[in-house]
Structure 1
Amino acid sequence: MKKTLLFVFCINLVFAQKKQVDLLVHHAHVYTVDTKFSKADAFVVNDGVFLEVGNYSDLAKKYSAKSTLDLQNKPVYPGFYDPHSHFLGLGQMLSQCDLVGAKSFKEILTRLQEFRKANPNQEWLIGRGWDQNDWDVKVFPNKDDLDQIFPNVPVMLTRIDGHAMLVNSKVIQMAKISPSSKISGGDVEVVDGQLTGILIDNAMGLVKRVMPKEDEKVKRQQILAAQAESLKYGLTTVSDAGIGQDDIELMMKMHKEGSLKIRDYAMVSVGIRNVEYFTKKGIIKTDRMNVRSFKVYADGALGSRGAVLLKPYADQNSNSGFLLTSKNEMDKYFSQIYKSAYQVNTHCIGDSANRLVLDLYGKYLKGKNDRRWRIEHCQVVNPADVPKFGKYSVIPSIQATHATSDMYWAEERLGKERVRHAYPFEALRKQNGLIANGSDFPVEFVNPLFGFHSAVARQDNNNWPAGGFQMENALSKENALKAMTIWSAYANFEDKERGSIEKGKMADFVVLEEDIMTIDLSKIRSVKVNATYIGGEKVFTRK
């Protein structure tokens, strides 16, 4: 009897000595993405953070968990980042007519008619996603067919890259646009003295100012729709590359209420009012929202020939693109922001835009630093300018899927010589030993595994071309994973709190059905997310 009591006492003592925790994840294949890129098979989560990472047999002896999760050797990664996206824009697009992948303008008209039939009470007919490069006749559409089908309904169709739109005559009348309309950093297309309905870059603002304002209820629905779409692909931190004060405050309110779980790195749209307000207020930081950067547009997009090039477009020798923000304006903003703790993130597509902004950055950054100023996209960079990323500690924030979306026609735009300087991801990575990789959604698809695949294989969804596109600038699998986790966290000043599965960091992690680090490249885009966790809370599970 004494021996029995002693045994029970010892067992109780062992359990009493175990630390109580919220969650023990085990029998997993954990990619920690720490400095050693080490692996583990278990970790412990408590109060929303990783308490310990290691071997299951060791952790089971030390901890008693309220919940345990046996993953049966499924792979686990740090929560995926998208360091350059348009989160609110995704929510808006999900409520509009989807034009992505349309193979002709005729197909677009059919989609619009079907959408209008399903949504007859919407004041405007709005769509996004058309791309003339996907059509047999690769030219911008015009408004004539829209006018015939929708003579009394305002129609606004935004190009896939968000840098051009097509509107019908109803919108033109409302916005009071004429063939003589001129706007800096934009273009109102006129052919034979007539408006075509095409507006490029800043000219789109002529329409946006006459559009009806969305109320808070609609914005909330859009934000929650964007969250649901993001979580199912393993994204735990997204970004808003150009957002205003009202939308930031609404999302912070939703975070506080608990309806919005996903973490957001907000880039404030640059402008006199925003720069003065946010630099004076200082960095805004909660566990879900991080406001410490400004988004600047240097130029437009390659697909709409708005990117600024050092020499004219190969397929339009009278055009070298145009700046959306003048050199003097950018210089003034950079000077003001440099005096604050805020970061500058500048959209640069063309080699001229990249050169101009790198040189302006250098004027203030001077040499190595920890300001983490970024260039977004970095699509066409002259080889002479690549070392400037390292010289001034500028972070290249790329979207690998842009390369595999543009590769079909990039040579037509740039010519054989210049296209070799396009999408130079590995060359850029070498400058500072890191690179951030996002999607720019909804310009590209939300799924971060598409970006992983494009960075490593340099191929499209059909695994074309064989051997990959300009493979000298492909990333390794290890670096591609870092680019969507710890390096993106670094680009957001969040590497001390997230981006890897390590003790003391926020417990954001993703469980996949298959291991993207070991399976064949051709299968990566089809890999499913089994579960997404933010702060140790399961926020998505695959049914």
Structure 2
Amino acid sequence: MKYVKLFIAVTILLIGCSQNESADKIYINAKIWTGDSVNPSATVLAIKDNKIIYVGNEIGTLDTSSAEVIDLQGKMMVPGFMDNHTHFLFGGYGLASVQLKEAKTKQDFINTIKAYCIAHPGDSWIQGGDWDHENWGGELPQKEWIDSVTGDHPLFIQRYDGHMAFANSKALSLAKISGTSSVPSGGIMIKNKQGEPTGVFKDEAMPMISKAIPDPTQTQLDEYLARAGQHAIEHGVTKVVDMSIYGGWPELQTYRKAYAANKLPLRIYSFVPLTKWASLDSFVKKNGKGDDMLHWGGVKGFVDGSLGSTTAWFYQPYLDDPNTSGLNITDTVLLRKWVLAADKAGLQVAVHAIGDRANDFILSVYDEANKVNGSNDRRFRVEHAQHLTQDAIKRFHELNVIASMHPYHLVDDGNWAAKRLDSARLRGTYAFKRMLNEGVMLTFGSDWTVAPINPLYGIYAAVTRRTGNGLNPNGWFADEKISIEQALRAYTMGNAYGSFQEKKLGVLKAGMYADLVVLNEDLFSIKPETIKDVKVLRTVINGKEVFVSR
């Protein structure tokens, strides 16, 4: 990249700027995908303070005596990527914790945990992990595998989908869990033939262990934010929606603290659990909903679990576990009550639904809320919307419900989903194309830490639908592949709409906030299968370069 700082009294006129208006920063010689249907491409973009003042191609007269001109030498510029669903502070924790996603065998799993414990002596809790038992054939881990290598560490590590976790004997002891412990509704504790816990807990059973884990200190949460923020901006993410892990309020407190100290690394929309809607309603009445950098006012609930943990809620049983069709992990009567109440209070409601039955249920609740609570710009969201019938896809459009989807999940799920579901149900899996054809508002994200936060991975997955096992080179259900432009829109303007900021973010045009990303390749000129290898060169938030690749 070539930097050119102009401190001479040359004047350039850029269409859209007044003759007396000066720019702080001008990017030239770029391949700009603006996302603006009126002006879809450009080569020049000018910024004043934190706003874009011009996007176009022509040079004329403008005072640039204090402007920085940056020659992008033909590199691609796009609006800042936004992630519609993260567990942001836990992601910051996970970056420094044990990493098990690449453990391909039982022994890899054990050895990786052993190495981590040797490198981190003591008796602190070990969390994170992101393991996948399907990597070694589907056998669930057992506490006996790792008790001898974890030493004094209590361990409670999650499957990568976050709906199943694994504890060692030290953790079971601290949580006072035995084979006779009662299991909450909506959860499962796996037992061995002797009736003792193996260490595996699913969904609403997971708090049986996690309740024994000390809450992170404020200092630790601050560290998680700094770590997560740097990781995100290095991948071109300029805004995240945080669906929380620590209960919502600790996250929001951490973000407000950072914001007050001018240390918030990127834009954040902070959600709290749906169960706490009344507390959020009171908080909003006293404090408002924040501003364009940090805002709140959304609640997130759950209908079911996940496909990988066999807790996603379907009408029919799983092929490989015919004794279950999944779980509705939240009581449906309570879930309906909370959704209607939160919506009536003016809060945005987002609910996790993966199985076909789960999606149908929450769409019915949203339909009822529309009728009971009256007309409103509510923007209901379904998080994941993963396995749908054609009727459900139509209902998304009819009810104006946002499909908050996570394309990189299919890279993993496609490796083994046929073990769980028949072809008819698989046909409605990650139905991006049909969603768009029906006019559904589609937004994309990662669900980090479930999948990498890198948006280019998500774009790659949506465009190619290649699975991690290499068995679907032309795409898993290839007719659901979408175009690069459609995927970009889901990561930019779609996410802006999903958080009520479409008039300020998601498009590169005059008057919008100057949030943008520069890439080392033109996504439209390379082979789709190489999109995952594209690198971020610059990330700009509010007109400031917060990341520059060296």
Q: TM class, shorter-chain normalised? A: over 0.9
Structure 1's 98 and 91: CA in aligned 2 closer, same or farther, altered over 3 A?
same
Aligned positions, number: 531
Structure 1's 336 and 41: CA in aligned 2 closer, same or farther, altered over 3 A?
same
Aligned pair 1:256/2:260, yes or no? yes
Conserved in 2, the CA contact under 8 Å of 1:298 and 1:348?
yes
Map 1:305-454 to 2 at 5 A: 305-366=310-371, 370-454=377-461
The residue aligned with 1:477 is 484
Distance in 1 separating the partners of 2:85 and 2:59: 40
Distance in 2 separating the partners of 1:464 and 1:453: 16
Distance in 2 separating the partners of 1:473 and 1:304: 25
Structure 1's 33 and 464: CA in aligned 2 closer, same or farther, altered over 3 A?
farther
Conserved in 2, the CA contact under 8 Å of 1:269 and 1:296?
yes
1:278 Cα offset (Å): 4.0
Structure 1's 49 and 199: CA in aligned 2 closer, same or farther, altered over 3 A?
same
1:262 Cα offset (Å): 0.6
Distance in 2 separating the partners of 1:167 and 1:17: 66
Distance in 2 separating the partners of 1:356 and 1:401: 25
Deviations 1:110-165 (A, max 9, x none): 11121112111352233411101111x31211111222333643111211111111
Which runs of 5 or more residues in structure 2 are unaligned? 1-8
The residue aligned with 1:117 is 118
Length-normalised TM-score, structure 1: 0.93
Three-state SS of the structure 1 residue aligned to 2:177 is coil
The residue aligned with 2:93 is 92
What amino acid is aligned across from residue 423 of structure 1 in structure 2? Answer: Y
Distance in 1 separating the partners of 2:78 and 2:488: 9
Give the stretch that moved more between structures: 286-295 or 220-229: 286-295
Map 1:33-112 to 2 at 5 A: 33-36=35-38, 38-58=40-60, 61=62, 64-112=65-113
Q: What is the percentage of aligned positions where both structures have the same residue?
A: 31
Three-state SS of the structure 1 residue aligned to 2:403 is strand
Map 1:143-182 to 2 at 5 A: 143-150=143-150, 152-180=152-180, 181-182=182-183
Conserved in 2, the CA contact under 8 Å of 1:452 and 1:481?
yes
Three-state SS of the structure 1 residue aligned to 2:199 is strand
> Match for 1:301 among 303, 306, 313?
306
The residue aligned with 2:26 is 24
Conserved in 2, the CA contact under 8 Å of 1:424 and 1:473?
yes
1:241 Cα offset (Å): 1.3
The residue aligned with 1:3 is none
The residue aligned with 1:465 is 472
> Match for 1:201 among 192, 200, 203?
203
Give the stretch that moved more between structures: 22-31 or 456-465: 456-465
Structure 1's 17 and 384: CA in aligned 2 closer, same or farther, altered over 3 A?
closer
Distance in 2 separating the partners of 1:502 and 1:438: 23
The residue aligned with 1:266 is 270
Distance in 2 separating the partners of 1:37 and 1:459: 32
1:464 Cα offset (Å): 5.3
Deviations 1:334-367 (A, max 9, x none): 1111212211111001001001000011001249
Distance in 1 separating the partners of 2:236 and 2:21: 30
Distance in 2 separating the partners of 1:380 and 1:346: 14
Distance in 2 separating the partners of 1:171 and 1:466: 42
Aligned pair 1:247/2:251, yes or no? yes
What amino acid is aligned across from residue 336 of structure 1 in structure 2? Answer: A
What amino acid is aligned across from residue 446 of structure 1 in structure 2? Answer: I
1:311 Cα offset (Å): 0.6
Deviations 1:474-527 (A, max 9, x none): 111111110000011101111111011011111000000001122111211111
Length-normalised TM-score, structure 2: 0.92
Deviations 1:314-344 (A, max 9, x none): 1111101111211111111111112122111
Three-state SS of the structure 1 residue aligned to 2:85 is coil
Map 1:447-526 to 2 at 5 A: 447-460=454-467, 465-526=472-533
Distance in 2 separating the partners of 1:492 and 1:462: 35
Conserved in 2, the CA contact under 8 Å of 1:99 and 1:128?
yes
What amino acid is aligned across from residue 179 of structure 1 in structure 2? Answer: G
1:225 Cα offset (Å): 0.6
Q: Which has the higher helix share?
A: 1
Which runs of 5 or more residues in structure 1 are unaligned? 1-10
Structure 1's 252 and 35: CA in aligned 2 closer, same or farther, altered over 3 A?
farther
Three-state SS of the structure 2 residue aligned to 1:384 is helix
What amino acid is aligned across from residue 417 of structure 1 in structure 2? Answer: A
**Cα RMSD for the two superposed structures:** 2.1
What amino acid is aligned across from residue 154 of structure 1 in structure 2? Answer: P
Distance in 2 separating the partners of 1:452 and 1:503: 26
Deviations 1:272-313 (A, max 9, x none): 464453454475122311212111111101001010011111
1:39 Cα offset (Å): 0.5
Conserved in 1, the CA contact under 8 Å of 2:24 and 2:48?
yes
The residue aligned with 2:226 is 224
Structure 1's 258 and 341: CA in aligned 2 closer, same or farther, altered over 3 A?
same
What amino acid is aligned across from residue 247 of structure 1 in structure 2? Answer: E
What amino acid is aligned across from residue 515 of structure 1 in structure 2? Answer: D
What amino acid is aligned across from residue 266 of structure 1 in structure 2? Answer: S
Distance in 2 separating the partners of 1:34 and 1:505: 11
Distance in 1 separating the partners of 2:303 and 2:258: 32
Distance in 1 separating the partners of 2:471 and 2:58: 41
Distance in 1 separating the partners of 2:95 and 2:196: 33
What amino acid is aligned across from residue 522 of structure 1 in structure 2? Answer: E
Structure 1's 41 and 177: CA in aligned 2 closer, same or farther, altered over 3 A?
same
1:72 Cα offset (Å): 1.1
Give the stretch that moved more between structures: 246-255 or 229-238: 246-255
Distance in 2 separating the partners of 1:411 and 1:14: 60
